[in-house]
Amino acid sequence: MLIFLLNFLACPKPAELPETPQVELESPATPETPVTPQAPEDPHAGFFGTHSSPECGDERKYPRHVVLSEDMSYTLTDLVSPCPPGGMCAWSGVVTAKGTWAVEGPMVVFTEGKVDNSDKGAPRPDQLTLGQTGQLMESRCLYVQSSGPADAGAPPAP
């Protein structure tokens, strides 16, 4: 017990303890994740691809295909009276028009350029309208998009 008492008396009192230096630990800097700028989505992207209409009442009795390209060019193909495979025909039966397109409000507007056999078939549209279902329309006739980004959904409203 004497040893215990001597050890107790030999221990420093709290006031006699040397002061422990306070070291502030810095939290490791979290490296910032670089933000990769995203290109804004092209508002016309939903229109890119092939749009087809089988016929359009009394105005057009044959299929029409319109291909809207990313470079804002288009190709319109009217299958007025295609020559059957292996057949002999005076002309191919196909009218092709090319030009440029733009979106103006709820319409795709065409600026026609080169046309093959322009005197054949029904008048070509100078615009298509975005219908309530999100499909393009000529007059009262809907086009179905068979290729392009709209395979995943209808084109966006402009």
Which has the closest alpha carbon to 76: 20, 130, 39, 123?
Answer: 123
Contact 114, 74 (CB under 8 A): no
Give the span between the Cα atoms of 135 and 143, in whole angstroms. 6
- Answer whether residue 136 is part of any domain: yes
How far from chain centre, in Å, is Cα 152?
A: 10
Selected residue with higher pLDDT from 14 and 121: 121
Give the span between the Cα atoms of 44 and 113, in whole angstroms. 21
- Answer whether residue 57 is part of any domain: yes
Condensed to tens digits (0 to 9), the pLDDT of residues 68-98 reads 999 999 999 999 998 888 888 888 899 999 9
For residue 4, what is the enclosing H or E element?
helix 2-10
Q: What is the pLDDT of residue 49?
A: 92
Contact 146, 50 (CB under 8 A): yes
- Answer whether residue 105 is part of any domain: yes
**Candidate ranges 11-20, 30-39, 104-113; pick with highest mean pLDDT:** 104-113
- Answer whether residue 95 is part of any domain: yes
Q: Please give the structure tokens belonging to residue 89.
A: 């025909």
Condensed to tens digits (0 to 9), the pLDDT of residues 126-143 reads 999 988 778 899 988 899
- Answer whether residue 103 is part of any domain: yes
| CATH code at position 106 | 2.40.128.280
Q: Which residues form the domain of 130?
A: 45-82+90-151
- Provide the number of structural domains found in the chain: 1
